Structures are given as structure tokens and as C-alpha cells.
Amino acid sequence: MNQNQAEQLQAERRKTENAFDITQYEHVPRRYYGRIFFATLIIVALAGLARAFANGQIEWGYIGQFLTSEAILWGLLNTIIMSILAMVLGVVIGVITAIMRMSANPILRYVAITYTWLFRGTPLILQLLLWFNLALIFPVIGIPGVFEIDTVSLMTPFVAALLGLSINQGAYTAEVVRAGLLSVDTGQYEAAKSIGMPRLQALRRVILPQAMRVIIPPVGNEFISMVKMTSLASVIQYSELLHNAQNIYYANARVMELLIVAGIWYLAVVTVLSFGQSRLELRFARGAGKRS
């Protein structure tokens, strides 16, 4: 290739490069046609749903009216009280069962295993009915000669619901707590022992606080489902939110309106709980380092 040809080639190249100056081109983001398609689909569906509700047999005025009616608010309060009491009791039972389950004592271990098997293995609604009808097996409860009480007067809907929900919850929580305890490094048990801690103190001071990080998210989840499970107690006449809503619509036949009222309140309670859960998670993240 001679000098002349090389220069000619160079000139040619410069010309094509100048022909399109890429620095001046506009950048166009990619178009997501799929998203636009599905968004449209959802909007159409929602519009249809809204139309169905608007044209359906729903008197919107009733919802506003019953949302703060006395019976509904009492039901809400009972739902909240029952959720909290049953959950607290359930967690206590769960922690004790988990510790028994991991004990070196085979008797404690098998008691825990049998309890979990029994109460996870039968439907909650069946357990609630059993507690409520306990008088059929034990007409009287107490220590003979010391004190005795009629089971029928003891097993109010409140007591039966509390027992049924918390004992059932305990069986589930036990497994969650056990998973949490297992997640703590064995070196932590050894370190606690090495400074002279007996087993239970080591569990309380060293192991459980660390296990909490693993335990809280699923227990929060269970708490949320507990709020809704209290509605099953309506079958044993406990005056919780759904039960009271039903009582109202049996009288006035506004079924949909009252179900929506109850739904709004359940959602509200669960939303508050979710916030509480994230606060609690922060509390027990001490010394754990950053996690996204």
C-alpha cells in the first residue's frame, strides 16, 4: 500500500465518521409494552369491579353508619383483646414447649412432641367447640374437696375462645421458637456455660435474645393470622367483630355492607400490627450488623 492510497483511506474513514455524530443522538428508554398491557388490564378489571359494587345491592351509606356503631366497636374491642391475650398466652406456651422439646429430659421432650402433634393435627374450630362443650366430659372442674366449679359456668365463650386459640397457637409457636433456638450458634451456649450459667439462665440471657431475631418475623405473621382466627370464635358465641356484624345483618339483611365494615376493621388492625412488627425487629437487631 503506497502513501497515496493510505491517505485516501484515512480521508474516507473520516468522512463516514462525520456522517453520523453519535454524541448528538438522543437516548430513548426502552418501552415496556408488557407493563402497559397489564396495567391496562388491571384498570379495566378494577373499573368493572367498582361498577359491580356501585350497581350491586350495596347501600354505601350503611357502611359509614355501621363502621362506628356501638355493636361493631364492641366487637372490634373484643377481637383485639382476644387476639392479644391468646397470642401472649400462645407465645408463653410456645416458648416453654420449645424449651421442653430441646431438653435432655425424654419425658419433657415427649410431652412437648405429643402436645404439638395433637393441637396442630386437629382443626381449630373443632378445638374451640371441644372447649366450649367441655362440660359434657367434665361436669365439674376443681380439686375434689378443696374447691369445685361447674364447667358450664366456667366455660364462657370468652374462656373457651381464649383456651382454644392460645393452646392451638402455642403448638405452632413452639416450632417457630425451636427454629429460633436452633439458629443460635452452639458456641453461645458454651460461652454462657463457661461463665457459670445454668441452662435456663443461659437460655434467658444469651440464647433467647439472639433467637428473637429469627422468631419475630414468623410470630408477627402468626399474630396477624390470629387476629383473623378470632373470627372462628363466633361459632361459640364469642362477641367478636364478625359475630356482631353477623348479628346485625341477621336483623337488617344488609349482608354485604356489614361484611365490608368488618373487613375494613380487620385490615386496619393488621396494618397497625405490621408497623409494630418492624419496630420490634429493629429493637432485636442490636449487634447483628446491617441486613438489607
Partner 1 sequence: MRNIVKAVGLNKYYDQFHALKDVSIEVEQGEVLCIIGPSGSGKSTLLRCVNQLEKIDKGGLWVDGELVGYRIVGNKLHELTDAQIARQRLSTGMVFQRFNLFPHMTALQNVIEGPIQVLKRSPKEANEEATELLARVGLADKRHSYPVELSGGQQQRVAIARALAMRPKLMLFDEPTSALDPELVGEVLSVMRDLAHSGMTMIVVTHELGFAREVSNRMVFMDGGQIVEAGTPEDILISPQNPRTQSFISAVRT
Which positions touch partner 1 (CB under 8 A)?
Answer: 185, 187-188, 190-199, 201, 205-206, 209-210, 284, 286-289
CB of 181 to partner 1, least distance (A): 15
CB of 202 to partner 1, least distance (A): 9
CB proximity list for 224: less than 8 A, separation 6 or greater:
270, 273, 274
CB of 287 to partner 1, least distance (A): 4
CB of 91 to partner 1, least distance (A): 19
Please report how many Cα atoms fall inside a 13 Å half-sphere around the Cα of residue 216, on the Cβ side: 19
Distance CA 95, CA 101 (A): 10
Decide whether 251 or 288 has the Cβ nearer to partner 1.
Answer: 288
Distance CA 176, CA 183 (A): 11
Decide whether 211 or 248 has the Cβ nearer to partner 1.
Answer: 211
Short-list 275, 271, 245, 269, CA closest to 81: 269
Decide whether 137 or 195 has the Cβ nearer to partner 1.
Answer: 195
Amino acid at 181: L
Decide whether 175 or 281 has the Cβ nearer to partner 1.
Answer: 281
CB of 204 to partner 1, least distance (A): 9
Decide whether 7 or 185 has the Cβ nearer to partner 1.
Answer: 185
Pairing between β-strand 140-143 and β-strand 147-150 as defined by DSSP bridges:
antiparallel
